[in-house]
Amino acid sequence: MTLTPPSAYDIFNNNQAKVECTITGQDEITWQIDGQTVTNNISVRPNSGNKTSTLTRTRTEWLRFNKVRCSANSVTQDLTIHKSDTIEPKVTVYILPEEDISKGGSADVTIVCLVSSSVQQDYFIGWLEYNGLNASIYNDGINFLPQSTKIGFSVTSIYTTTKEKWNKNNMFSCNVWAAGSKRLTSRTVSKGLSNSTEFLNLRLATSCTDDGIEEDEYSSLWSTTSSFIFLFISSLLYSMIFSLVKMKKP
């Protein structure tokens, strides 16, 4: 059984939370929300050998939930929603220095969004990309699993754009909604903004928090984030090389 939490795309763009439960076989799937059995707004999609049931709720309804349970036959899996309506997460955006972006051989530019809090929370992270006009479609980035740190918990999201769009001074915004909160926290960066005093002040402001988080602790978070990026790229390169070797074998 696999229980998939809602995506940021549906949360931000459609104001919906969709939870998918997939099982092997065609047994009946039942749902519970906070201990109560629910039957409305549920769709079932049979596949070859598998069966997927989707529970759909509005974003407003999702704010009230604490636990969602999927059951089939004797198998049960829970999705616990970690939330806080009083602690706003700290959001920091990192990019390479402009000289490194210009000199690099890659045609892409990678932007990293680091979300941290003193308590464990579930985050929905959506990326906006726009060029002076109002942006309306949120995109998903590559999100890593939550990590426990000495100051609490952190989540990293990576967004990749083209160097052409970056050089056109497009704006890139990391938007974070913490489960249980009605507030949206955003940080924006662009080529022009990354070279400005305002952006430097923004990075300083996100590092100085009411919780007394010191600069070296944020450095530790960034070190952890860098390790994740390195492992992700290494894994991707290994998969590509392994595939090429298999193709060349007779």
- 26 with 46: CB under 8 angstroms? yes
Q: Of the candidates 164, 168, 173, 186, which has an alpha carbon nearest to the alpha carbon of residue 131?
A: 168
Q: Evaluate whether 2-80 and 90-237 have a shared fold.
A: yes
- 140 with 128: CB under 8 angstroms? no
Q: Which residues of 51-84 are buried (b: 16+ CB within 10 A; e: fewer)?
A: bbbbbbbebeebbebeebbbbbeeeeeebebbbb
Instruction: Please list the pLDDT of the chain residue by residue as tens digits (250 residues).
Output: 999 999 888 988 999 999 999 998 888 999 999 999 999 999 998 877 889 999 999 988 988 889 999 999 889 999 998 887 677 888 999 888 777 777 767 788 999 999 998 888 888 999 998 886 666 788 889 988 888 888 889 999 999 999 888 888 888 999 998 887 778 888 988 887 754 433 443 443 333 333 333 344 444 444 445 455 545 444 444 444 444 444 444 4
- 37 with 7: CB under 8 angstroms? no
CATH class of the domain defined by 90-237: mainly beta
Q: Can you tell me the distance from the alpha carbon of 28 to that of 74, in angstroms, rounded to the nearest whole number?
A: 11
The CATH number of the structural domain formed by 2-80 is 2.60.40.10
Residue spans per domain, the chain: 2-80, 90-237
